[in-house]
Amino acid sequence: MTNFEYESLPVVGELPSGTNDPHGGKTLLRRMSGARIVRIGGTNADIEGGGFIIDYICGGENQVRRVVFAFTELGMWVEYEGHAPSSRAAILDGIPG
């Protein structure tokens, strides 16, 4: 693919249904749209595909939430969605507003 083709790809607001999210992440992805990303990256934990983690804050809230994506060559799904560990809230102090 060329850069133009990547730039033109449509964003589909759902994921395949995983064992922890039978709705395919539809409400999660709507909630995350416009959210403030606090931390993003991988993990060395035993998660299918290596895992991809996003800690975020929804607009108008101050609670850090976390989503963990797992994936294989067949697709990507939400493995976990919920509150980030409370120790993560400390990261907010170092994030410029």
Q: How far is CA 34 from the centre of its chain?
A: 12
Mean pLDDT score across all residues of the chain: 78
Give the global pTM. Answer: 0.73
Question: Does residue 50 contact residue 33 with C-beta atoms inside 8 Å?
Answer: no
Cross-strand partners of 69: 52, 78
Task: Say which range, 58-62, 66-70, 79-83, 92-96, has the weakest mean pLDDT.
Answer: 92-96
